[in-house]
Structure 1
Amino acid sequence: MVRGLRVSMLLLAVLGNLAWSFTAKAGYNGKLTVEIDGLKNKQGQVCASIFASSQGFPNQRDRILQKQCIEITDTPLLMTFDNLKAGNYAVAVIHDQNSDRTLNRNTFGMPVEGFGFSRNPEIRTSAPKFSEAVFLVAGPNTNIQVQLKYF
């Protein structure tokens, strides 16, 4: 009887530790590093926006979870975002050559500055869907690469 009680107590302790471990990991915040390559020059800045859902992706400013713009110093360029909860995200990047924080377009609506997206989806006649650019943040450090495109 005593041996059975010890085994039961040990089992409860192990299960309690497992439950705490899963809860602690579910509440962590991770870091995302975005490596941006393909810049055609070092004019202006690069801006990256993180979206947590398809709503507003890739260009509604009021739906952006985090945004960052940095001057171009090196290529490839590295941008880091902190405090991301575990989950699905998509990133939109622009080479903002005139530093107006907008992807400028010509009279036909075609971008005249470089742009790119997480997972580097093929660009046809419009911006990709969230599902084509989505990636998972599931650990303390997530690294992605974005290759800029120019028309």
Structure 2
Amino acid sequence: MFKTLTLALAAAAILAPAAHAQDAPSQAGFGDLTLSFPALASKSGKVMIAVYDSAQGWSSGKPARVAQAAASDAEPAARIVALPPGTYAVRAFQDVDGDGKMGMNPFGMPVEPYGFSNDALPNMGPPSFDAATFTVKAGANTQVVHLH
């Protein structure tokens, strides 16, 4: 159910560097995506972020990009640069305990805050890619993701 989200984000976070606002500006014709995470219940740990560019990637847990945001920041956010214009969706969770994976209860339900772009709601698992999609255009783009 949420295992795909945990595995994809944990593996991707280990393999890829975090995206931060000081990253180099994007190339002409590409988009920069700033993801913000307001009103976190806890300021501990990191927000682990996976950005998907297709329904296939979404369902297989293979993100196009990954990033992290420090939950302790006044306004936790991550910036992903040089995305080709197109349709994307985001999965994120707050790794409160710092173990690199989403905490689950014995029934496989998340015990750490998580959320999706468009504030898409889960239904017996993550929402569909279509429910979470948004468009990235050339230039600056922003998305707000609320973690629950």
Give the structure-2-normalised TM-score.
0.75
Deviations 1:20-71 (A, max 9, x none): xxxxxxx7111000111231111111111101111242672xx111111232
Runs of 4+, deviation exceeding 4 Å: none
Moved more, 84-93 or 72-81: 72-81
1:110 aligns with 2:78: no
Secondary structure of the equivalent of 1:102? Answer: coil
On the 8 A contact 1:52/1:88 being kept in 2, the answer is: yes
Aligned sequence identity (%): 29
CA distance in structure 2 between the partners assigned to 1:115 and 1:58 by the alignment = 17
Deviations 1:75-130 (A, max 9, x none): 43111000100000001111011223321211011101000111001233221010
Equivalent position of 1:30 in the other structure: 31
Aligned residue-pair number? 121
- 1:55 maps to what in 2? 56
Distance 1:70 1:77 in 2: 6
Higher-Rg member (1/2) = 1
Cα distance in 2 between the residues matched to 1:59 and 1:96 = 21
- Mind listing any 5+ residue stretches in structure 2 that lack a counterpart? 1-27
Report if aligned partners of 1:51, 1:58 keep a CA contact under 8 Å in 2: no
2:91 is aligned with 1:92: yes
Q: CA RMSD in A?
A: 1.7
Equivalent residues of 1:48, 1:67 under 8 A apart: yes
Q: Check the 8 A contact 2:71/2:94 in 1, yes or no.
A: no
Query: How does the TM-score come out when normalised to structure 1?
Result: 0.73
